[in-house]
Every structure is written in structure tokens, then in C-alpha cells.
Structure 1
Amino acid sequence: MESAVEVERGAAAIKEQFLTTKEKFHEFLASGRPRQSSDEPDGDSEPTAEPEQKKMKLDSDGDKKDKKRMRGQNKSRPHIKPHSYEERRLCTSIIQERDTKCFFGDKCRFLHDVSEYMSTKAADVGDQCYLYNTFGRCQYGVTCRFAKAHTSPELKNLLNEDLYKDCAGRDTTRNHLDKELQRQLRKKQVKFSGAEAYLKTINRGKKAEHKSAEESHASNEEEKQSGAGDAANGQQTKDGVDPPVKTVGPITDADIIKLRPCEKKQVDFSDKLYLAPLTTCGNLPFRRVCKRFGADITCGEMAMCTNLLQGQASEWALLKRHASEDLFGVQLEGCFPDTMTRCAELLNQNIDVDFVDINSGCPIDLVYKKGGGCGLMTRTSKFEQIVRGMNSVLDVPLTVKIRTGVQQNCNVAHKLIPEMKKWGVSLITLHGRSREQRYTKSADWEYIDTCSKLAAPVPLFGNGDILSYEDAMKARETGVSGIMVARGALIKPWLFTEIKENRHWDISSSERLDILRDFTNYGLEHWGSDTQGVEKTRNFMLEWLSFLCRYIPVGLLERVPQKINERPPFYMGRDYLESLMASQHVDDWIHISEMLLGPVPKNFSFLPKHKANAYK
């Protein structure tokens, strides 16, 4: 018997009693959602619509139906900075209740009158402040959106002395950018002795090659004439044997120590679950959530080496590490040996990490066209110089993340991996797709298996399409040393628990809301509990919800497990919250954020970085 609700090809198999139509689904959710004003978009409009999206022609009848390509990124999305949500901001000297006057005096552009600030401040979000309850003091004082929990009637910031003493000296977040270091980087006063020494060897090598090329051309005739004489004197070289390599300059003890791999910090990567370095969504609060569910290895978001060398605070923020991240690395992107080597030396001296990763798998045009990301896979000479240079200045292992190749039907990873072993890479992660494929095809685990044998004894991690413990078991049947999880962790961060306990977790909607609540608290701790921090937390939560909505509860599936490339059809959950979390509409994601962070500001606007239907 055919279902009353038509299910499109490629959709996940959901039990018939839960299926519904788009109209009924939106009508049901609208009944529990605050009414929209007339100037806001209608509930049936597509949240990810974009003027640039191309239209495709359709079928055999000759009728034209507009089908928008729902993949890639929303490149023209509006961007409103969180600090623009407040009309006037209070000066830091007043927030921190300093005895001294403001450093900028009359020239300060912030408010110094608390009463005036309170007259324009947005209403508090809740009665309890997570920072005050956790650490005994909220550093945001009256600007905190939960200020009523820790301010006196005289608008003074309260202190829980016992709790504050217990938390004093507890360093929950590390790898902050030192102000003096930032000043030196901006004035280009930082010295990179290790990097400079390595770069000189590259330059000497280039000069030697250039000189030898000129000499070989000039002495070609001489070599022919002297060949007979050499043979007579027993000096003829054997066929197939290269002449000895000439060294340029003396090798010092320092060079030998640097080149000795056993001197580096040893990290056991074997059979670990690795949370991929996810741009935008792989922030510190999200990594804390994944650590709680069993992720073994975490890595910061991709950081541009040039921005780090310039002392950009926003880029250095990507390097921050929480105390719960016991095996943590940072990922660098760059395309030149000089900047990458200097950046590696800078990080080696100033932050606490267990490994440094090179991103040679990033597919986006902005990075690739400059020669970085996947572009490094086609520039093996530069790639080698980068790896050898970074290895020479790092005291921790150097790892690399790559794809199968650039073109769809032209894999090159198997050729590159044996070379990377010679260069001194400590770990290789292989994403089973090419740059051209993006996410349109399934990951090629057979090819990953082949490459893992070529990589031995260097550990190789496989990455691609892991969304259940069954997917992880199949991946482990190959020769990989471990598994990296990317989109699977965004769709269901409890996946790490499922893999470690070999089970499908039919998690309830209330448990999922608790996960979002934990993320909210971690976000307020990381970005702040004032208006700027609240809205920044909200924005990152909404980015995450654009992936989280793809999860289909186990109890609703006709066939377990859910596959990562199967899109969910419209379905009703077992309660209102479960249905709300299944919505792919931006307004419903905002409604969920309002349940945890209060109403959005009047001028609030959001469009996700990645299209919600990227797999459609």
C-alpha cells in the first residue's frame, strides 16, 4: 500500500505515521511560535534563498519548474556585528569598578554614567547568571544580561567570596594573545631565528641549483672529452648511481638536534576519535560539548598564518584551548614556506598545544586560488619546504590533512603520502573526497584503505560520512589508525558516545535542548554574558542548528541508521519540541535560541554560512 504522503527520492526512510506535508508541518509549528510582524518573511519562504542561485530546467513534458541549487555557501548573507545591538556601551573602567579614572578621559566614546546606560540597556534574559554561579563573580557587572542575579540595588557588582576563592587561579582557557606580543608583531619586532636559519638553507639551495645549471651548460663539451680519460683512470661512475650530494656549509650540533625526530614530544594518536577542525562551527564551546560526549582529539578552527603573524586578535582567538581539551592541536593555513615556518616558530614559543596541523584539504576558492589548502597538493616542492621548515622549528608533532586530490577522477593522495613520510609528518588525515566533489558523492573508503597501507608506519586517519557507530565499525575494518568525525559531529555530537558504546541512542528532544543549554553556558563563558556575548553565542548556535536540524530521531526511522546523505522529509516528532528541532526554517531556529537566550534584538538578521539544504 502506497503512503498518503509522497516521499522524494533520496529521502530518509521514516515510519509512515510520522510523515506529513510541508504545509501541515509549518502550520503545526506556527501554532506554537510567536506571531510574526507583517514585514517579516512568510513561514513558507525558503530560509536559504539567494539571488545568485542558479535555476535548472526540468522534465520531459516541456514544463519549466524553477529548482534552486541548494548547496555551497550563502556568500551574500547579511552580517551585523554583535556590538551594533546596543545604542550606547558602558566604559570598561566603569564595568570593572576601577578606582582610577578612564585612561581616555573626555575623549572616551563610551558612557560613564551607569544610570544613563541602564535607561537604554535591553531587558535581562534570566534571573540566574552562569558566570556568577560558576566562578563567584561576573566580570561583566551591570552590562551582563543576567545582572539582576549579582548586582545590588545601588548597581554594584556582588561577589560570592567563598566560590571566588575556590575558583581563583583556575585557568579554564589558555593560549591568550599577550598584549606585548601583539604590539611586537604589529611593529615587526619579533625575531624568528629558527625560521630564518631554515630559509637560508632554501635560498642557498636555489643559488646552488642555478649556478650548477649554468656550469653544466658551459662544461657540457668538457665532460664529453674528459669521459674517456676518466674511464682509463678507473674513475667512471656506475650506471644508475647518482653522484654524492654536496653539503653547503658546516652542519652544527644544533642542526642535528633539530633534525632528530625522537626529541619531539611524542603523542599517541592510535585508535582515537578525532573531532575535525570545523570552520565557524568548531569553536571552543562546541568542542567542549563534544569532549563531554567522548571526543579524544580536538583541533582549533583553521587559522590563517599571515593574520597570526600580524597579531590579529580575532585570528588568535581561534587558538584558545579549554582545560578539558587534553589532546589539542591547532590548524594552520598558508601557501609559502617563509610565513608558515615563522608562524610555526611563533606558536611553538607562545602557546600550549600537543600538535600543529597543516590544512592542505580546504576546498574553498579564496584559499585554493592563492595556492593554499588543496592547492598545496599540486605544489609538492613548496609543500615539502613548508613541512620540513615547520618541522625544524616545532617541538610538537606536525600533522597534515589532505583530500584524495583536486580533480574528481584523478586521485593523487597515494603518490603524495610516501613523500610526506620522508618529510617527517607524524600523522596524515585523509578526507575520502576530492576538492571537485565537495559533498556530492560518498567518501571513498576503499581508497582510504589503500592509502593507509602506503602510510605505515605513520598513522593515517580516515574521514568522511561517519554518522553512526556502524559507519565507524566499517571504517575501522580498513587499515586506518583512527577516525576523524566532521559533519557527523555537527548533526549529532553524541555520536562519540554511540561509537564508544556501540549503540544507537534514541535521544529525546529535552536531552537535545539540554545540550544546547550547555553550549549556551559555555558560549557565555567564552564570549561574554553582556549583549555582545549573548548575540555572538546566539549566532554560533544558529550556525550549528543549521546542521543539527538534519538529525532524525532513531525511534522515527523505518531503517536504522540514518545515512549522512539522506535528507529528512517533512515529519512530525513525538512532541512539539522534537518537531521544532526538525525544522529547516531560520525562524524556527531563532525560536529555539530565544528559549535559551531571550528575544532577539529588533534589527537582528541571520542567514547561515552553509545552506541548510546543502545535501539536497
Structure 2
Amino acid sequence: MGDDTAIVINSDDLSVDESPATFQYPLNAEEMVAKSIAPVKRDFLCPPPVRTCNRDDNSKAPLMDEKKSKRQLKRERLQEQKSALHICPAVAKSGNVDSCVYKEKCRYSHDMESFKSQKPDDLDGLCPFLSSQGPCPYGIACRYAATHKDGETGEVATVIINGDKRNGELNVLKKDVQKLLWKNKMKFPKADDALNLLGLLKQGKKKNVGDNDSDGQVVINGNGDVDGKGCCRENTDSVNEVDCTAEVLEEDKPYEADVAEELRPPKKTKSSIDETCSEPLIDGEILHEKDTEKSCKQSEPDFEIIMEDNDKCLKLHPREKKLIDFKEKLYLAPLTTVGNLPFRRLCKALGADITCGEMAMCTNLLQGQASEWALLRRHSSEDLFGVQICGAFPDTVAKTVELIEQHCTVDFIDINMGCPIDVVVNKGAGSALLTKPMRMKSVVEASCRAVETPVTIKVRTGYFEGKNRIDSLISDMGNWGVNAVTVHGRTRQQRYSKPADWEYVYQCVRTAPSTLQVLGNGDVFSYLDWNIHKSNCPELSTCMIARGALVKPWIFTEIKEQRHWDISSGERLDILRDYVRFGLQHWGSDSKGVETTRHFLLEWLSYTFRYVPVGLLEVIPQKINWRPPSYFGRDELETLMASESAADWIRISEMLLGKVPSGFTFSPKHKSNAYDKAENG
């Protein structure tokens, strides 16, 4: 990880038929732009490389994850625990075999000599924890143990502060809270009072006929499963995270099955406003489009709010809440998989003002799943931070926001009502709420009444293409209690296949009341895009930046400095190096943490290759829907960074994290169709 990292590129990896001087691209710059192809200067264009499959070389093999059964994965975990490499964390930290409180009953190995003999070679560079107070929390298990100071292993109390802060990280799930959630014994008085006032409180089954202690409290039935479905580490971001934020989802099929197990089965609500505004979903689509039009005309029931003694925890009016000012601030959108804590730290260093965590499912949070709670983690450098949640029912969402307010440190809570993937929509969450405005209102009102923390929502323009409808609802959203609304300029059916409709976003901004902040979202990829949207609609509070930050996180620097940054390959490698350092501090510097960091680095590299350097373009700036052609960079590293092959992404990761382990495979979780012509739906 040092600055003197040698970069060696084998010319055999790229086989081209002609040199760039003799190759003639068939289209000129205007024709390339018309076909959504990035107009790279002709001197740098080249034919697509011809790659060969070589399974004996991990760096060149086409990488596809092999699906394994749950039984096989469990067997591998048990075998790993029995191996000498799976050393007890307490022993590794202290270097003392007697430091483990479980002694011989510990499920991990205490054989330090065997561990040292089998441990992989240390990586080049410095331990990422050297700059923090106290010793490295991974001791001899750290892959940079050779750089530890003499006698550094020992107590790690200086790394964990009051049990609530680790290496600058907040919102760690406490064990006592998790146990209450596992046993369904967590109480939600504010949420229950809010639901009761709105007439939305369901009557749960009582244990005994004469038991009146429950007060009709709704308890979400959890299965107690906290292994996190492949969680890399307890209370850390999992490799198979169930985070389907609408900003990054581009092809849903590869991971829809992961989300399906974590969504609550749809139950018919008993409230008087249940499901009166739309037909049920069939195979991910609404049965009748006309029902969504009728729903706006249905009369809303009037509720007379009577404040009783047990309602003291509720705010009298939404205006009494603390408000967040989004005006002119650079907002990093919640991003699936890649929008983890290390990436947000990187964007903060590059100029982002507001950050938001990856979307977490309400049902999983209420069940105490460690992998889902990891999505709520916050770094101390994130001075204006929010979390995003997704749920289909008022009781679930209201209880979740109360739980977050009580046990997390956040500045605002965002409710996702725009997630487009089928498995979420079929359960009534995400974009499905756009077809049910009465339930949408109930979710927002119950959530806003249950907490003092500002609540925001994120929506799309509508469900069906050509049938935008948010403009008819946004005038009432201010009365629901929300602080701000983000409008993504596409419908659910459009996904990401067409440009965002910013004219409609402007229309929504002008329709909204002056007390409601409206943010725009979609296709912001340069400071010129930012300036155009702000000048076309001065009432717009700000623009949320999503995929543009994935492709080039220095977009925040460009906007603040009002310039096109012709960033060099060396500067880009330094940014990757910072990300790796943040990742090792977050996921760990032992072998497991190194490979977890590598996995998320590769996921991010599956986006960064789309960036075309400014100095190579004939037309500036690059648009987000332009597909990069095959081209040579100005140096070998820039050429490598432009490769769309996962094998080349692995080679970049090896520059920063050493050689991949034997049998390593990788396939990107999100396969982009943003550049391809796709049918809606």
C-alpha cells in the first residue's frame, strides 16, 4: 500500500489486432454521441481486446461465483473454525493464551505457534491502526503485524470507547438491545401512541385471556436468525447485503432472492384506510392502472386527535421538530453495496456535505439482524448523516424509526418509497407505495409523529411510464410532517433505461409548499449538470448525487471548485489507496478483513471503469449514459483502469492488498444495463 507500489502490466493480457495509430474507428464524434458512445479522441481508440480463458491463473480467469448450498456453507464455516488459522480473537489481540475467558470451551483455536506457521505472509505497507490510539485490535492476526511496535499487543479498551465507539464509528448494535429484539420484548411506546392517534394500531394476540399488559402492542415476529446471510463479520457490512436502494440498482435478478427472505409477508391491515386505493400486485405489476388514478380522488378519513396523558411523548405539531437545511449542500445518495462506510468517508474527504447509509429493511432491524444494523453505522467524520429504511406498513416503519432514534445517532431518517426491484415492490414496499397514497400517507404520518428526528422521503415520479403522479401528492406532503422530499426523475418502470425527467422534477418543486424542501435526483455527472438544474429551478433545494459519485467520487470536488478535473491515473490510485485504508479500519486488518475490503473494492471498480479521462474526450463533459469504447490510456495504469474485465480489476486490487488467495472468484453484484437499450418494466 506504499506510494512506491510497482505497477507491472503484461502486454499478453491485452491482445489487439492493430496499433492505435492504424486503427480507424467507424464513427466520428457526432455519431458516437448520437449513439451514446463516449467520443474518445481517435488517437486513443483501439479495437476491443481479445481475452483468453486460463483457469490456472486467477488473475486472468473469467470470474463467476459458484452457488453453494446452505449446508455446504455451514460445513465450510465449521471446518474453518476448527483450523489453526481461525485463532481466538482474544488470544490474537493480547498474545496470551490465558486471556480467553472461555478457556478450553472456546470454539476457536488457541495454538499460536500453529497459527504463526500457517498465517499468510504479511502485506506491504503500514498497519491502518497505527494512527489510532492504542494497539492494533487484531494483534498477531493483523496482515501488517510486522509494522507493529514492540509490545503493542495488549489491552484494546482504548479502541472501544464506552462500548459505543470503535475507531471513530458510531451506532454499534448493543447486545442487550439485540437480545430484546430477538425475544420480541422491545417496547415502542411512541410508535404505539402515534398509531393509536391515527387509528392504525393493530390488536396483537394476547398471551392469556386476562392479560392486559400488551396494550394492543404489535410485535414483529422474528425468527432469531442473526447470522446475517453471509455476514463478513458481526456488526459489519455483509458481502451479501440486502440493500436495494434505488440509486444503484440496475439489474435486479442476481440478488432479488436475497431480499425475498428478509421482507415481511404481506398481511391485510385492519385499519379503515387499508388498501382502498389500489389492486393487489400480480407478478410485480399492478393489475389495473386506472385504480391508481381513482385513489387520488378517494376521500380521506378525518381523525380527531385527542391528547391524553399517555400522549406526552408526541410532538404537538410537526413544526416543533428540528429541521435540516439541505439548501446548496452536496448530498451523497444512499448507494447499494458500494455506499458503505469507507466509501462515504472517502466522499466526505472529496467534498460531500451530506451522507446517507445504505437502505436497511425495517423487518430485519426489528429482528436484530447484525448485518442489517451494520448499514446504520456512522463515522465521526460524517457531520451530517442520515439512514435510509424501507417498509410497507405504518406500524413496522413507525417502530423502526423510534428504535433508530433511541439507539442510534443520526441527523435524519429517510424512508425509501422508490425502490424499483420486483421482490420489494411485490411486498408492498418501495415503489409500490406510489400506487397507494393513503398507505403512503399513513406510513409518513405515523413515522413523523413517533420521533423528533427529522424524517425525509425519497420517491420516483410515478409507477407507470407516462403516468407521473407525485405532483398531485407533493402539495400535501408538507402537512404529513416530512422535512424534505427527494424526487428521482424516473418512474418505476423506467428503472435506469432512459434519462431522468428533470422538467417534471422542476414542476414538482414549484408545486410543493414553500415550507417543504424538494431535492432532485438523476444523471448528475458534472458541475455543469449541477449548475443547469440549479439555474433552471432556483427553488430546488439541492441535487442528490448517486451513480455519478460511484463512477467518479471526485465529482464533489469538481462542483465545489467549478472545474473539470482531468485526474491522472496516479491520483485515482491514491483515492483507491485511501479507500482501502478506510476499509481495513472498518472491516479489519486480519485475513478476513482484507478479503472483505477486496470484495467491496472490486464491486466499486465495476463502476469506476466507466469514467473516461477529460483529456481523452473530444466533447466535454462526459454524460452518465455514454458507453465507453475500447481505448488506450495515457499510461499503462490508465489503460488498466479503463478495462471492463473483472480480471483486470483484481489486478488493481492486488496492487493494494496483495495476491488473491487460491481459488478466489469474483462476479460483480450489479451488472449495469444503463448503457444498453432495455424495455421498460
User: What is the aligned partner in structure 2 of residue 69 from structure 1?
Assistant: none
User: What is the aligned partner in structure 2 of residue 468 from structure 1?
Assistant: 526
* Cα shift readout 1:479-515 (whole Å, capped 9, x = no counterpart): 3110100000000000011111110000000000000
- TM-aligned CA distance change 1:557 to 1:258, over 3 Å: same
| Matched letter for residue 518 of structure 2 | L
User: What is the aligned partner in structure 2 of residue 488 from structure 1?
Assistant: 548
Task: Return the alpha-carbon distance in structure 1 between the equivalents of residues 106 and 271 of structure 2.
Answer: 61
User: What is the aligned partner in structure 2 of residue 380 from structure 1?
Assistant: 437
Confirm whether residue 550 of structure 1 aligns to residue 610 of structure 2: yes
CA contact 1:308–1:315 (8 Å) conserved in 2 = yes
User: What is the aligned partner in structure 2 of residue 58 from structure 1?
Assistant: none
CA contact 2:200–2:271 (8 Å) conserved in 1 = no
Query: CA shift at 1:172, angstroms?
Result: 1.2
Counterparts of 1:240-319 in structure 2, within 5 Å, are 247=304, 251=308, 254=311, 258-319=315-376
CA contact 2:336–2:359 (8 Å) conserved in 1 = yes
- TM-aligned CA distance change 1:295 to 1:602, over 3 Å: same
Query: Which of 307, 330, 341 does residue 387 from structure 2 map onto?
Result: 330
Task: Return the alpha-carbon distance in structure 2 between the equivalents of residues 252 and 481 of structure 1.
Answer: 39
Could you tell me the TM-score, scaled by structure 2's length?
0.74
- TM-aligned CA distance change 1:517 to 1:356, over 3 Å: same
CA contact 1:468–1:504 (8 Å) conserved in 2 = yes
Query: CA shift at 1:186, angstroms?
Result: 0.9
Query: CA shift at 1:463, angstroms?
Result: 0.5
CA contact 2:60–2:647 (8 Å) conserved in 1 = no
SS of corresponding position for 2:644: coil
SS of corresponding position for 1:400: strand
Confirm whether residue 17 of structure 1 aligns to residue 43 of structure 2: yes
CA contact 1:150–1:159 (8 Å) conserved in 2 = no
User: What is the aligned partner in structure 2 of residue 5 from structure 1?
Assistant: 25
Confirm whether residue 172 of structure 1 aligns to residue 173 of structure 2: no
Confirm whether residue 536 of structure 1 aligns to residue 606 of structure 2: no
User: What is the aligned partner in structure 2 of residue 608 from structure 1?
Assistant: 668
CA contact 1:75–1:609 (8 Å) conserved in 2 = no
SS of corresponding position for 1:566: coil
Query: CA shift at 1:261, angstroms?
Result: 2.4
Task: Return the alpha-carbon distance in structure 1 between the equivalents of residues 530 and 172 of structure 2.
Answer: 35
Q: CA RMSD in A?
A: 3.6
- TM-aligned CA distance change 1:99 to 1:600, over 3 Å: closer
Could you tell me the TM-score, scaled by structure 1's length?
0.81
| Matched letter for residue 669 of structure 2 | K
Confirm whether residue 340 of structure 1 aligns to residue 337 of structure 2: no
| Matched letter for residue 102 of structure 1 | C
Confirm whether residue 500 of structure 1 aligns to residue 497 of structure 2: no
- TM-aligned CA distance change 1:341 to 1:253, over 3 Å: closer
Query: Which of 83, 87, 90 does residue 90 from structure 1 map onto?
Result: 87
User: What is the aligned partner in structure 2 of residue 515 from structure 1?
Assistant: 575
User: What is the aligned partner in structure 2 of residue 197 from structure 1?
Assistant: 193
Confirm whether residue 404 of structure 1 aligns to residue 428 of structure 2: no
Query: CA shift at 1:101, angstroms?
Result: 5.2
Query: CA shift at 1:478, angstroms?
Result: 3.2
- TM-aligned CA distance change 1:340 to 1:551, over 3 Å: same
User: What is the aligned partner in structure 2 of residue 217 from structure 1?
Assistant: none
- TM-aligned CA distance change 1:451 to 1:10, over 3 Å: same
CA contact 2:190–2:451 (8 Å) conserved in 1 = no
- TM-aligned CA distance change 1:39 to 1:80, over 3 Å: farther
- Bigger Rg over Cα: 1
Query: CA shift at 1:610, angstroms?
Result: 1.0
Query: CA shift at 1:96, angstroms?
Result: 2.6
**Long gaps (5+) in structure 1:** 28-34, 52-73, 214-241
Counterparts of 1:53-452 in structure 2, within 5 Å, are 87=83, 88-97=85-94, 102-150=100-148, 157-158=152-153, 172-203=168-199, 247=304, 251=308, 254=311, 258-452=315-509
Task: Return the alpha-carbon distance in structure 1 between the equivalents of residues 68 and 472 of structure 2.
Answer: 34
| Matched letter for residue 606 of structure 1 | F
SS of corresponding position for 1:300: strand
Task: Return the alpha-carbon distance in structure 2 between the equivalents of residues 609 and 544 of structure 1.
Answer: 10
User: What is the aligned partner in structure 1 of residue 639 from structure 2?
Assistant: 579
Identify, as 1 or 2, the structure richer in helix. Answer: 1
Q: Which deviates further from its counterpart, 114-123 or 573-582?
A: 114-123
CA contact 1:192–1:342 (8 Å) conserved in 2 = yes
User: What is the aligned partner in structure 1 of residue 17 from structure 2?
Assistant: none
Query: CA shift at 1:376, angstroms?
Result: 1.1
Task: Return the alpha-carbon distance in structure 1 between the equivalents of residues 639 and 111 of structure 2.
Answer: 46
Query: CA shift at 1:435, angstroms?
Result: 1.1
* Cα shift readout 1:330-382 (whole Å, capped 9, x = no counterpart): 00111011111111111111111110000001111121110111011112222
CA contact 2:201–2:271 (8 Å) conserved in 1 = no
Q: Which deviates further from its counterpart, 448-457 or 577-586?
A: 448-457
Query: CA shift at 1:206, angstroms?
Result: 9.6
* Cα shift readout 1:433-489 (whole Å, capped 9, x = no counterpart): 111111110000000000001123211111111111111111112331101000000
SS of corresponding position for 1:199: helix
* Cα shift readout 1:504-548 (whole Å, capped 9, x = no counterpart): 000000000000000000000111000111011111000000000
CA contact 1:142–1:157 (8 Å) conserved in 2 = no
Query: CA shift at 1:612, angstroms?
Result: 5.0
Task: Return the alpha-carbon distance in structure 2 between the equivalents of residues 505 and 113 of structure 1.
Answer: 52
| Alignment size in residue pairs | 547
Task: Return the alpha-carbon distance in structure 1 between the equivalents of residues 353 and 491 of structure 2.
Answer: 26
CA contact 1:584–1:612 (8 Å) conserved in 2 = no
Task: Return the alpha-carbon distance in structure 1 between the equivalents of residues 592 and 665 of structure 2.
Answer: 15
SS of corresponding position for 1:399: strand
Task: Return the alpha-carbon distance in structure 2 between the equivalents of residues 263 and 568 of structure 1.
Answer: 50
Query: CA shift at 1:260, angstroms?
Result: 2.0
Task: Return the alpha-carbon distance in structure 2 between the equivalents of residues 247 and 574 of structure 1.
Answer: 69
CA contact 1:265–1:396 (8 Å) conserved in 2 = yes
| Matched letter for residue 195 of structure 2 | L
**Long gaps (5+) in structure 2:** 1-21, 204-269, 274-298, 677-681
Task: Return the alpha-carbon distance in structure 2 between the equivalents of residues 493 and 305 of structure 1.
Answer: 29
User: What is the aligned partner in structure 1 of residue 510 from structure 2?
Assistant: 453
SS of corresponding position for 2:414: strand
CA contact 1:182–1:311 (8 Å) conserved in 2 = yes
CA contact 2:40–2:618 (8 Å) conserved in 1 = yes
Query: CA shift at 1:257, angstroms?
Result: 5.6
Query: CA shift at 1:251, angstroms?
Result: 4.6
SS of corresponding position for 2:415: strand
CA contact 1:145–1:530 (8 Å) conserved in 2 = yes
CA contact 1:439–1:615 (8 Å) conserved in 2 = no
Task: Return the alpha-carbon distance in structure 1 between the equivalents of residues 493 and 578 of structure 2.
Answer: 37
Identical columns (%): 48
Task: Return the alpha-carbon distance in structure 1 between the equivalents of residues 199 and 636 of structure 2.
Answer: 66
